[in-house]
Amino acid sequence: MTRTGRAGAIATALMICVTLFGAQATGALAETGPTATEVALPPAVAEPAADAPRFYAEEVVQALPELTPSDAASLADLVETMPADAPLSRDLLCLAQAIYFEARGEPLAGQLAVGAVVINRTTSGRYPSDYCSVVTQRGQFSFVRGGRIPSPDESSPAWTRARALAQIAHQDLWQSAAGDALFFHARYVNPGWARTKVKLAAIDSHVFYR
């Protein structure tokens, strides 16, 4: 081979090597990651579907809506509209138990009046400030034994009404004939303290005083 032919062959071989090396270098760059001037972007996160369940790091408590005064034609109608299975706080349960044990055989107005007395005491400054403490206060309600309230018959219609009336009284959804009474007694007794009080109402078998 002449010198010129040898030089041409060497040049051709060099071009082939450069081409192959460039191709391999490009492939390695794709496998090892970006150069110093390239920025790696995080993978795109798909938006959750509108109906997908959502999870929260903290407990979420949904407040029950406050009931508003009703345009019910009667107290009986209002009792019927109250949610029978609404969860009650401990305080409201004590109020419902007082209504149930003191007046479940009374007309609705008489039961509501008993609830009003418990509520009035909590705001009077003369008694405890919560329903349970008022109801369990020593010597105040005869159905309480040793500071404990007995369990009502939760399957009875009377308990359902007492629960409804407790909510009505607590939220002041119906005006009670007992007004701001703090005391009451059964008609068949004549306690000495009644002579020093102002009589406000007599509802069926109970008399209410301020």
> Is residue 71 very low, low, confident or very high in pLDDT (cuts 50, 70, 90)?
confident
Q: Is the pLDDT of residue 70 over 80?
A: no
User: Tokens 């005083």 appear where?
Assistant: 209
Q: Judge if pTM exceeds 0.75.
A: no
pLDDT tens figures, 95-111 = 999 999 999 999 999 99
> Is residue 72 very low, low, confident or very high in pLDDT (cuts 50, 70, 90)?
confident
pLDDT tens figures, 156-183 = 999 999 999 999 999 999 999 999 999 9
DSSP type of residue 12: H
Give DSSP secondary structure letters for 27-57: HHHHHH---TT--PPPPP-PPPPTTS----S
Domains and CATH numbers, the chain: 75-179 (1.10.10.2520)
Q: Is the pLDDT of residue 200 over 90?
A: yes
